[in-house]
Amino acid sequence: MLNKTLTMAVAIGVSVGAGSSAWSSALDDVMKKRGLTQKDLLAAAKTYTPTGGRDEYLAFSSGGQSGQVIVYGVPSMRILKYIGVFTPEPWQGYGFDDESKAVLAQGNINGKEIKFGDTHHPAFSETNGEYNGKFLFINDKANPRIAVIDLHDFETKQIVVNPHFNNEHGGAFVTPNTDYILEAAQYPAPYENEFVPLEQFNDRYRGGVTYWSFDKEKGRIDPSQSFTVEMPPYSQDLSDAGKFVSDGWSFTNSFCSERYVGGIEKGRPPYEAGCSQKDTDFLHVVNWKKAAELFKAGKGKPVNGMDVLSMDTMVENKAMFLIPEPKSPHGIDVSPDGKYMIVSGKLDSHAYVYSFDKMMTAHDAEKYEAHDPYGIPIVSLKDALHKQVAVGLGPLHTQYDSKPCTVFTSIYVDSQVTKWNYCTGKVLDKLSIHYNIGHLVAMEGDSASPDGKYLISLNKLAIDRFNPVGPLHPQNHQLIDISGDKMELLYDMPLPLGEPHYVVAIKADKLKPAIRYKSGWNSRTDTRSKFKARAGREKTVRTCDGDNCTVEVFGTVIRSHITPETIEAEVGDKVIVHLTNLERAEDETHGFAINGTNVNLSIEPGKTASATFIADIEGVFPYYCTEFCSALHLEMEGYLLVKPKGYKDVEGKIVDGTTYSKTDYDKQVGTNHATQDVIDSVVKFITERNYTDFAPVKELVDDAVAQLGFASKWQKDSEASAKSGDYQNATLQAGQWWQYQVKAADIGLRAKTYLEEHGAVVVK
C-alpha cells in the first residue's frame, strides 16, 4: 500500500517535471506565469503561512444568518472552525446529540424550537478591559438571545432568551471585568407578551438595554441577577461599555428617535422616510453600576420573570441621560483609555468624538438643554462634543490602533476605510475596499490596549472579486496591513456562510484550548457524564414498562471498533445510545451515524455523547464511524436490528463467510512477528533519543504503549485458541493482534518523524 502510493507519487512527479507547464524554481518565472507584481509578492509574503505554521491572531466572526461563529487565523485568513451556536452544526454533532439539543432548547421561545439565529456581535470576556481568552459571547438579532461559548473547547454552553425584547441588535458588549453583558433592543415592542395596537406606540412600546450578569466562577449568565433598563421607543442600536475613567457607564445609540410608525399599505410614508427626518438621534448614557445597585436594592419591577428599572427610577437617580448624535447613528466605540466615545451617523459624513469628561461636567451640574418626551434629561451636543471630523459618506464603525489617537472608520457609501486622528481631528489616509464595508476589526481593536498590525474590512458586497458561484455571492473579508503610515491591502478572503457583521480578534497565545476531555465528559454541561462507559464494562439494557420498552446502550468507541457491534431492539422501542470515546490521543475523534434516524454524533477523545430515538420501523440499520480515524475506519461498523414485536430469534449461529486453517494462522503469526520487528526498530530509535523532552512525542508514545498492550492481550487469546486447535478463532484473534500492532506502528512512525523534524538528539 505504502509502496504503491510512493510509486504513484514518483510517477506524478516525473510527468509534471517533464511537462511544459512545470513551475520553474525561479521566482521571476513564477511571477511572470501568474502575472504577479512585486507588490503582490510582498503582500503574499506578509500573509503566506508555511505548512505547519501558526497564526499570530485568531479572529472570531459572527456567522450572520447561519447562526454560527466562524473562526479564522490572521494573517493567513485560513478558516479553522465553524462553531455551532444558535443552529445545529452536524460536524460537531451540535443539535444532534442529546447533550447539545438541551443547549439549543434553552433558546426555545414560547416553547417553540427556533431553527436559526442572526448573529451580529461577538465579544470576548475581559479583565480590566483586556481580552482574557476565556469566553466568547454573541447575540442573535432575530430572536433576542445571547450565547456563551467556552474557549476552552470552542463549544456553546448556554443560550439565554431576553424576556423583555422582541428583537435586538446591540449585543453582545461586555463591561471591562465581564460583570455584565449588554443587549440592547432594536425595534420597540411592548415588554408584556400581549397585543398592543401601533396607535399606542408612544405609550406602550419600549426599547431598553438588558444587563446580563455573568457568573465568572460558573462561566454562565445568571438571569436571576440580570435586569433591564427601560428606554423610550427609539430604535436602540449598538452599545459599548466605558472603561477606566468611564468605567461604570455604558453608551447606547439609537435611530428613529422620531418614533415614526410606517404603514405604506395605508398610504403612510415608509419607515425609511419617517425614521430619518430629524438631524439628530440620541445617545443613551447609562450609569450601569448605579443601575445594578438600584436593582439589588429592589427598585426594579418584575416583568416576565426579570426585573425592569423604569425610566423614572433611572432619571430620579441621575443614572441615565441623553446626548444628541448625528443622524441615524450606527457604531459607538469607546477609546482604549475610556476618555472618548466615537459615534458615526450613517447619513452624515462626520464622525463625532464625545468627551466623557465634558458630558460628565454637564451632567453633574445638571446643565441640560431639554428633556425628551419621557422626562430624560438631554445634555447638549455642544457640551459633550470634543471633535467633529469629516471622514467620508456613510461612516459606520471605528476601531482603535496601537498608535495614540489613531483610528480606522468604515465608510459604507464611499467603500473606504478612513484612518484619522481623533485628538487633532486630522484625516491621515484613505483606502478603497471592495465593496461597501460594514464593520472592521483591528487586532484587539476594542480592548484597552489595541495591537494595531492588521485590519480586516468586513465587506457587505463582493460583486466581482471572486469566481462567480451564482446569484448569491460570498462575503469578502479584506486583510489590510496597518503597520505603516499608509494602509495596504493584502488579501481577499471569501466567507461563504451567512453575512458576518462584527469580528473580534485575539492574540492566539491567550487561548489555551483543550486537546482532550477528562474521560467520560459531557462537554455541553462540563460535568462528568452519568453515561460514561469504561473499556470492558460496556452493556446494553432493555427494560419495559408495560408495552413501552427502552433499549439503553452504554458503549465505547476506540480505533477501530464500536462496542457494542450489534444493538437489538423491537419495533417501537425507544433506543438511547451513550458512547464514550476511550482515546487519549490527539485528534482521534470518532463519529456515529445510523441510517434514517438523524443519529449523528461527534465524539472527541474523552467525550461521552448520547442519541435518543424511536426505532419506529423494523429492519436492519447499519451504523458506522463517520470520522476517518484509522486504516480500518471503514470496519468501524455494526448493526441496529429492529425486530418485529415478539420476534423469536432463529436457531443456529452466525456462519463465517471464510474459514481458516493452521496454515492461515501460521501465516498471520509470521506477519505479526515481522511487524513486531519494525515496531522494535522504531521503539529503539525513539528511546535512544531525548523524546521525553517533546510533549507531543510523549503523548504519542503513551498511546502506542496502550495499543501494544491491547495487541498482547489478543496475542495471548490467539495463542490459547491455537493451543486448543481452534484455528478459526486463533487466526481471527491473531488478526486483531496485528490490527493493534499496525496502530502502534503508525503512531510510532509519527513520533519518529516528529523527532527527526525537531532535532532530537541521541542520549544513549
Positions that interact with ligand K7E (CB under 6 A): 120-121, 169, 238, 330, 396-397, 438-439, 501-502
Nearest to 130 by CA among 388, 448, 466: 448
Q: Is the Cβ–Cβ distance between 569 and 597 less than 8 Å? A: no
Q: Write the burial class of residue 571 (CB in 10 Å: 0-12 exposed, 13-18 middle, 19+ buried).
A: middle
Residue 502: CB minimum distance to ligand K7E, A:
5
Nearest to 668 by CA among 615, 621, 628, 721: 721
Q: Which does 145 bind (CB under 5 to 8 A by kind): ligand CUA, ligand K7E, none?
A: none
- Rounded to 5 degrees, φ, ψ at 541 are -125, 130
Nearer to ligand K7E, 239 or 610 (CB): 239
Residue 475: CB minimum distance to ligand K7E, A:
11
Tell me the C-alpha distance between 549 and 636, whole Å. Answer: 28
Strand bridging mode 350-355 / 574-581 = unpaired
Nearest to 555 by CA among 587, 502, 594, 595: 594
Q: Is the Cβ–Cβ distance between 724 and 718 less than 8 Å? A: no
Q: Is the Cβ–Cβ distance between 302 and 295 less than 8 Å? A: no
Residue 131: CB minimum distance to ligand K7E, A:
19
Nearer to ligand K7E, 97 or 240 (CB): 240
Q: Which does 439 bind (CB under 5 to 8 A by kind): ligand CUA, ligand K7E, none?
A: ligand K7E
Q: Which does 133 bind (CB under 5 to 8 A by kind): ligand CUA, ligand K7E, none?
A: none
Cis peptide before 172 (omega within 30 of 0): yes
Residue 607: CB minimum distance to ligand CUA, A:
13
Residue 439: CB minimum distance to ligand K7E, A:
5
Nearer to ligand CUA, 332 or 558 (CB): 558
Nearer to ligand K7E, 134 or 439 (CB): 439
Nearer to ligand K7E, 153 or 237 (CB): 237
Residue 183: CB minimum distance to ligand K7E, A:
13
State the sign of the Cα–Cα–Cα–Cα dihedral 520, 523, 524, 528. Answer: positive
Q: Which does 501 bind (CB under 5 to 8 A by kind): ligand K7E, ligand CUA, none?
A: ligand K7E
Residue 519: CB minimum distance to ligand K7E, A:
41
Which residue's Cβ has the minimum distance to ligand K7E? 438
Q: Which does 121 bind (CB under 5 to 8 A by kind): ligand CUA, ligand K7E, none?
A: ligand K7E
Q: Which does 502 bind (CB under 5 to 8 A by kind): ligand K7E, ligand CUA, none?
A: ligand K7E
Residue 139: CB minimum distance to ligand K7E, A:
9
Nearer to ligand CUA, 187 or 624 (CB): 624
Nearer to ligand CUA, 260 or 517 (CB): 517
Those residues with Cβ within 8 angstroms of residue 596's Cβ, 6 or more apart along the chain or in another chain = 617, 621
- What 649-656 contacts at long range (C-beta under 8 Å, 24+ apart), as own/partner pairs, is 656/728
Helix (H), strand (E) at residue 599: strand 599-603
Q: Which does 590 bind (CB under 5 to 8 A by kind): ligand K7E, ligand CUA, none?
A: ligand CUA
Nearer to ligand K7E, 397 or 578 (CB): 397
Strand bridging mode 548-558 / 574-581 = parallel
Those residues with Cβ within 8 angstroms of residue 300's Cβ, 6 or more apart along the chain or in another chain = 227, 294, 307, 308, 309, 313
Nearest to 570 by CA among 547, 597, 596: 547
Tell me the C-alpha distance between 122 and 138, whole Å. Answer: 4
Nearer to ligand K7E, 62 or 556 (CB): 62
Q: Which does 438 bind (CB under 5 to 8 A by kind): ligand K7E, ligand CUA, none?
A: ligand K7E
Q: Which does 83 bind (CB under 5 to 8 A by kind): ligand K7E, ligand CUA, none?
A: none
Cβ neighbours around 256 below 10 Å, total? 24
Nearest to 581 by CA among 553, 561, 600: 561
Nearer to ligand CUA, 439 or 559 (CB): 559
Residues near ligand CUA (CB under 6 A) are: 590, 625, 627-629, 633, 636
Residue 63: CB minimum distance to ligand K7E, A:
13
Q: Which does 625 bind (CB under 5 to 8 A by kind): ligand K7E, ligand CUA, none?
A: ligand CUA
Residue 109: CB minimum distance to ligand K7E, A:
20
